Structure 1
Amino acid sequence: MVDDLKPAIKSFGDMTAVTPNIDKLSKKSAIFTNNHVQIATCSPSRISYLTGKRPDYTKSYQLQTSMRKMRPNIITIPQFYRNNGYTTVGIGKVFDGRSVTQHDKPSWDKFYSPFFSRSFNENYDRPKYGYQNEEKKRVMDSLVKKNFPDGPPAGTYMYRWFKNRYKPPYSSSPKPDDTYPDGATASFAVKALDTIGKNGKPFFFAVGFSKPHIPFVAPEKYWNYYNKEDITLASFQERAENSSRKIYHSSGELRGHVTPEIKYGLKNGLAEVNEDIQKNLVHGYYACVSFIDAQIGKIVDKLESTGLIKNTIIVIWGDHGYHLGDHSLWNKHTVLEQATRTALLIYDPSTNKPQVIDSPTESIDVFPTLCDLTNLNKLDYLDGKSLKSSMDNGVSSKKYAVSQFEMFGSKNKMAYGFRSDKFRYIMFIDKQNIGKNISKNDIEIEALFDYKNDPNETKNIIGYDNYLVIENQIRNDAINFLNNYFKKI
């Protein structure tokens, strides 16, 4: 599981990306180029993915919502395999810690804390406040000493405290991979496979990586894979013509990452970021993607050297996409393409068959797919649909991928996005109507984008005469879908 990983991968069609390890695995895997998460924010997306249920069922729309408080008896993917005799082990960022206790204890035989069980390189100091760059660490140390002469009070969340004070959005150092949390996680995962793979039991092993989440912090060598001057910025950095402001946001996650030299503006509710900083941000994102690609490669190499690759299914999944300046948006938190579209790769050792699936798929499809691939009976209440037929034959599995997100500036409205092979339809309704029968009259905001003719979402074509047939069709499909689903929750 990879935080904030959009399909910035060469084998997925991104020619900027340097991702040799995932590319190599792609040659014998199914890759899903039109896969979408159900909600483009960390904790709710992970809950949806790991339970095979949509956010309107899990009731997880925000980071701090407790999964077990909302749905005490919900079954997660690792819990399902544990119940079926598998050893389940996790390390790193799998669930978001704000939504579960003890990493969701029912899911695991053993979970290794993201912060205290990694194999850090003992020849170097550990990262501080998320950074390994010595200059950045010195500045942050001095700020802490100035503001907390006796040390930060118990319970002070320093990651949040640095927000809007001194929090570089990108950084590098010449230190090796395993001086960084994700590098240390990969080292630990490689060692753990020696134990997990030898006890004679089938296993489920989840490894969660934190990058390319901002701040874009990675070893210098991965930055050197790219030339800053060759970085291409988003070609369309405005709101789409004829679109509501409520579809967008002010990129608050980015704007909290400041230094005396790096600051941002706001114009008409959108972030203003100068071109030099934009290039550094995009450069940093891709450097982090290459860094994570290398860590994934180490784990796959271990599976190959031990022979475990012959009977181990591998899933690579990003918990949501990422805006890199399109529409003047940064981070995620929308129902637009760059936020919902994410990387999904499934390697099935029984076939070693490469397959590219361009039709819409959803992250909730992974749970039932794994059930089919491991010959276990699926839970009958899962919302996703198995992708095994798509993997075997390349056939389409569904008409739409459905995402949702609360409207920017209001927690009382919910946006839904319906992504087909060519279009995206967006509709906003009042959250009070979730679970009720809705009609066209309940739709407050709409948008329609044609990706064949407008891949950058520059124009909302709702109301255009030549699109009225498709507009009415998708709207009716969306209303029917929600009404049918609302009956289940």
Structure 2
Amino acid sequence: MKKIVLVLTVISLVLSSCKSDDKKAKAAKPNVLFIAVDDLNNWISPIQNFSNVKTPNFHRLAKMGVTFTNAHVQAPLCGPSRASLMTGLRPSTTGIYGMTPDNKIRRAGNKATNDITFLPEYFEQNGYHTMGIGKLFHIHAPDSVFNESGGRVRGFGPYPKKRFVWDGFGTSKSKKEKYGRTSTDWGAFPEKDSLMPDHQSVNWVTERLHKDYDKPFFMGLGFLRVHVPLYVPQKWFDLYPLEDIQTPPYKSDDLNDIPPVGMQINDLPMMPSTEWAKESGEWKKIVQAYLACISYVDYELGRVLDALENSKYADNTVIVLWSDHGYRLGEKGTFAKHALWETATKAPLLFAGPDLPKGKKIDAPVEMLSIYPTLLELSGLPAYQRNEGYSLVDMMQQDKGLAEAKAITTFGMNNHAIKMNGYRYIQYEDGKEEFYDHNSDPNEWNNEAGNPKYKAQIEKMKGFLPKVNSKWDASSNYTFQPYFVEQKARVNGK
């Protein structure tokens, strides 16, 4: 009898130990803080430090981990860019080239997405409590993607009763049926930071960072700024006296060597033109407003980092911060994203976490498509086989893959840009090309596609063009710009 009791006691202790080990293993999984910043280009201090921008908290995050100075989006437009990141699939695979309602990204009529697992869902399926607030997908998120949702304030306000400068139509007033109205405008508004939706989102995140959870969490935070209208309180404008403002490089005849499709894509009369901004004296004011918005977001980022630092999760949380595309502030003749050129496709990407180097910069081109698989590996989760991107963990930890790194951006069906080895190659749907050597032409002013000197490099880069170019998804549209309306109708046979 004593032997039986002894055996049972040993078994009980072993089982208890196993349960304890299981709990420790579960507790060891890192939390994830997933931060999206809308329309943020690379002007922040850890990357370009343009016009002496004041971003101490972006710098603080950069010192905590790894900064990719040459990261590129999969589409230079928020809807398809975010859909690509959240599905792990390229726009050319899904046909999501335009704006798609959050609840229609995954639908029965799309073979690529009908059974896809969104990034936050994958974490939930692997034992995470998921939360999200703000702009994460195009609007906020599909229904039930998060266990806990803070939603999203509609639009990009707050708005003054009357626009300060730009009416949102520009020179397209006589063609309103062809071009959409934008919320492009700039000025000091409202009076206090607390009136900004992003401030309220950070309050929501801060509250949850001080709660207890019985499992690791995935927390998504989507900032609305620096998306237009470029409104933030006056104190952020005060950081940037107009006389000290720099403007980006600009060449008035820059577009003379651009193929017709590229010019059609760049037909944006609803946006301010650089020539108008120069003549009206507004260029420095627009840049000032954009810088002010960056510094405002930097302040809110600092509040998030403070909350994390003062929580029990400080030492076991992976952070990723990214933007859905770059933004042109006068480069290539306008103030917009909407292009396959460098200033539209390039955006910040920063990672920090327990197993990552601190204060490291990587200049090799990478894709936002890599965020999904990278977060899985950093969290010790199994790879998701549907992901078309690759994890950046080996690159961050061991510098692997730097020489062969590349990034592909797509804008509409069969229009692609490839960035690699200091070159940018663009091919449009009709086969017309652009090619830029960033070693001698960082501003992409000289299209060298016809230069025999680069023939071998161009042929090499052509080999990386997507082999699949799906038709437009039925639920995906971009009605602001006639080219995309026409292309969808043409290629889909409607």
Q: State the match for 1:301 in structure 2.
A: 306
Instruction: Tell me the amino acid that sits aligned with residue 230 of structure 1.
Output: D
| Counterpart selection for 1:137 from 150, 154, 161 | 161
Cα 1:289–1:78 shift into 2, 3 Å: same
Q: State the match for 2:61 in structure 1.
A: 25
Query: 2:180 & 2:415 partners in 1: Cα distance?
Result: 29
Query: 1:425 & 1:129 partners in 2: Cα distance?
Result: 34
- Tell me the SS of whatever aligns to 1:272: helix
Q: How far is the alpha carbon of 1:273 from its aligned partner? A: 2.7
Q: 2:298 aligned with 1:274, yes or no?
A: no
Higher-RCO chain (CA-CA 8 Å, sequence separation at least 6): 2
Which deviations, in whole Å up to 9, do the C-alpha atoms of 1:47-103 show, x marking residues without a partner? 111121101222211113630223221111100001111000000111113xxxx82
Alignment of 1:437-476 (within 5 A): 444-475=431-462
TM-score by length of 1: 0.79
Q: 2:386 aligned with 1:381, yes or no?
A: yes
| Counterpart selection for 2:248 from 210, 234, 237 | 234
Q: State the match for 2:267 in structure 1.
A: 250
Q: How far is the alpha carbon of 1:231 from its aligned partner? A: 1.6
Alignment of 1:123-134 (within 5 A): 130-131=157-158
Cα RMSD (Å): 2.7
- Tell me the SS of whatever aligns to 1:185: helix
Larger radius of gyration between Structure 1 and Structure 2: 2
Q: 2:83 aligned with 1:47, yes or no?
A: yes
Q: How far is the alpha carbon of 1:180 from its aligned partner? A: 1.0
Query: 1:168 & 1:354 partners in 2: Cα distance?
Result: 35
Q: Are the counterparts in 1 of residues 95 and 469 from structure 2 also a CA contact under 8 Å?
A: no
Cα 1:350–1:444 shift into 2, 3 Å: closer
Which deviations, in whole Å up to 9, do the C-alpha atoms of 1:285-326 show, x marking residues without a partner? 111111111111101100001131200101110010001111
Alignment of 1:337-486 (within 5 A): 337-351=342-356, 353-397=358-402, 398-406=404-412, 414-429=414-429, 444-475=431-462, 477-478=463-464, 481-483=465-467
Q: State the match for 2:319 in structure 1.
A: 314
Cα 1:139–1:214 shift into 2, 3 Å: closer
Q: Which runs of 5+ in 2 are unaligned?
A: 1-35, 168-175, 474-494
Cα 1:366–1:164 shift into 2, 3 Å: closer
- Identical aligned residues as a percent: 29
- Tell me the SS of whatever aligns to 1:426: strand
Which deviations, in whole Å up to 9, do the C-alpha atoms of 1:401-445 show, x marking residues without a partner? 000112xxxxxx53100100310000012xxxxxxxxxxxxx521
Q: How far is the alpha carbon of 1:129 from its aligned partner? A: 7.6
Query: 2:152 & 2:181 partners in 1: Cα distance?
Result: 26
Q: Are the counterparts in 2 of residues 240 and 459 from structure 1 also a CA contact under 8 Å?
A: no
Greater mean deviation of Cα atoms: 26-35 or 396-405: 396-405
Q: Are the counterparts in 1 of residues 134 and 222 from structure 2 also a CA contact under 8 Å?
A: yes
Cα 1:223–1:9 shift into 2, 3 Å: same
TM-score by length of 2: 0.78
- Tell me the SS of whatever aligns to 2:428: strand
- Tell me the SS of whatever aligns to 2:414: strand
Query: 2:188 & 2:434 partners in 1: Cα distance?
Result: 40
Cα 1:93–1:131 shift into 2, 3 Å: same
Instruction: Tell me the amino acid that sits aligned with residue 30 of structure 1.
Output: V
Greater mean deviation of Cα atoms: 12-21 or 246-255: 246-255
Q: State the match for 1:121 in structure 2.
A: none
Cα 1:323–1:138 shift into 2, 3 Å: closer
Q: State the match for 1:37 in structure 2.
A: 73
Q: Are the counterparts in 1 of residues 158 and 195 from structure 2 also a CA contact under 8 Å?
A: no
- Tell me the SS of whatever aligns to 1:11: coil
Q: Are the counterparts in 1 of residues 271 and 334 from structure 2 also a CA contact under 8 Å?
A: no
Query: 2:379 & 2:182 partners in 1: Cα distance?
Result: 48
Q: Are the counterparts in 1 of residues 338 and 344 from structure 2 also a CA contact under 8 Å?
A: yes
Q: Are the counterparts in 1 of residues 190 and 231 from structure 2 also a CA contact under 8 Å?
A: no
| Counterpart selection for 2:133 from 86, 91, 99 | 91
Q: How far is the alpha carbon of 1:485 from its aligned partner? A: 8.3
| Counterpart selection for 1:225 from 239, 247, 252 | 239
Cα 1:167–1:425 shift into 2, 3 Å: closer
The count of aligned residue pairs is 413
